[in-house]
């Protein structure tokens, strides 16, 4: 699925379940991943409404270090872990929000597709950015405090079951759907 197809076709109210699944599979297939932390790569696409556009504009977020001069987990061969999270790399959700900010795009009322359900810290960034809906494929970080924060803030989280036959190799890591 090309970026142009996604950009022109994304009208959330008219999006079928098949289109939602195809978009989630696109997120999985387009992921750039430099962290060794599993169980699977993480990636996100933030769709932002553009004033003079038919549809919404996609901004990609990847699990990467915030600057090219900072060595990645992949380069160093290990993660920098704190509280069961790698803190060397930006999480994909925060990376997408920051990418939008870098190019001057507002995130209010944005819709995020994330391979994994956001962790608590990413959820706080999502809430602060004004994102109102998250579609995710895997509930890796399904904590009570995360669910509560998103619910209180009015952020809707919707699970999208990806095709179990989907197998993608991303930077040497094999990702299986479902």
Task: Output the tens digit of pLDDT for each of the chain's 178 residues.
Answer: 444 444 444 455 456 677 777 777 767 666 666 566 665 667 888 888 766 445 566 676 666 666 667 777 778 888 778 877 777 777 889 988 988 888 888 899 999 988 889 999 999 999 999 999 999 988 877 789 999 999 999 999 998 887 655 544 444 444 444 4
Which residue is associated with the tokens 């991303």? 170
What does the domain layout of the chain look like in residue ranges?
3-171
Q: Please state the pTM of the whole predicted model.
A: 0.73
Q: How far is CA 135 from the centre of its chain?
A: 9
The answer to whether the beta carbons of residues 156 and 132 sit under 8 Å apart is: yes
- Rounded to an integer, what distance in angstroms lies between the CA atom of residue 147 and that of residue 155? 9
The answer to whether the beta carbons of residues 100 and 108 sit under 8 Å apart is: no
* Structural fold of domain 3-171: Cytidine Deaminase; domain 2 (3.40.140)
């Amino acid at each position: 699925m090309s970026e142009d197809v996604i950009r022109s076709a994304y009208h959330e109210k008219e999006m079928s379940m098949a289109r939602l699944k195809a978009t989630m599979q696109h997120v999985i297939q387009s992921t750039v991943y430099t962290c060794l932390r599993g169980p699977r790569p993480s990636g996100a696409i933030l769709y932002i409404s553009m004033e003079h556009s038919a549809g919404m504009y996609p901004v990609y977020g990847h699990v990467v270090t915030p600057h090219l001069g900072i060595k990645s987990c992949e380069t160093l061969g290990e993660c920098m872990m704190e509280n069961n999270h790698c803190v060397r790399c930006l999480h994909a959700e925060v990376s997408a929000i920051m990418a939008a900010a870098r190019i001057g795009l507002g995130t209010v009322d944005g819709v995020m597709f994330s391979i994994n359900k956001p962790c608590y810290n990413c959820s706080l960034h999502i809430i602060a950015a004004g994102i109102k809906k998250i579609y995710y494929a895997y509930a890796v970080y399904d904590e009570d405090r995360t669910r509560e924060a998103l619910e209180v803030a009015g952020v809707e989280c919707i699970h999208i079951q990806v095709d179990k036959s989907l197998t993608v190799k991303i930077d040497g890591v094999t990702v299986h759907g479902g």
